[in-house]
Amino acid sequence: MAAEVMATCRTYQQKQAVLQSLWATLKEKSKRRQVKKFGDEVFLDTWFPLGFPGDEEEEETGFPLGNLFVNLHTREKFDSLMHRHREATDSLLEFIEYYGVVPKKILTDGAPEL
């Protein structure tokens, strides 16, 4: 079971928002034209360490290192590092505190770690 979960996480890792496939990972169509101001919609993704190229064992056992918020109005990125067993809600509170804006909608790629 753990191997299946890690394989799924690795698949999502390759589609993260930090790569160029931000829109391809969304399951629902974006209403980007309707997003009128900063903070209306954000995309949340969790990122993992990749280790050395070709070191698949390192990739499979890597623990999440941070949460990345991408604002869909400006494409501005807010990176929040995880500090030992930290959840996405902690990162969201950091985002709100930093920008002073509560996102109206948070989109994800449906990865198991979220």
pTM for the structure as a whole = 0.53
Residue 30 CB neighbour total at 10 angstroms: 14
Q: Considering only residues 27 and 46, tell me which one the structure prediction assigns the higher pLDDT.
A: 46
DSSP H or E stretch at residue 99: helix 88-99
Residue 6 within any structural domain of the chain: yes
Residue 112 within any structural domain of the chain: no
pLDDT by residue (tens digit) across 6-40? Answer: 555 555 554 444 444 444 444 445 555 555 666 67
Strands 41-47 and 105-107: parallel
Cα–Cα distance measured from residue 102 to residue 92, given in angstroms and rounded to the nearest whole number? 9
Residue 114 within any structural domain of the chain: no
One-letter amino acid of 79? D
When divided into structural domains, the chain yields a total of: 1
Residue 8 within any structural domain of the chain: yes
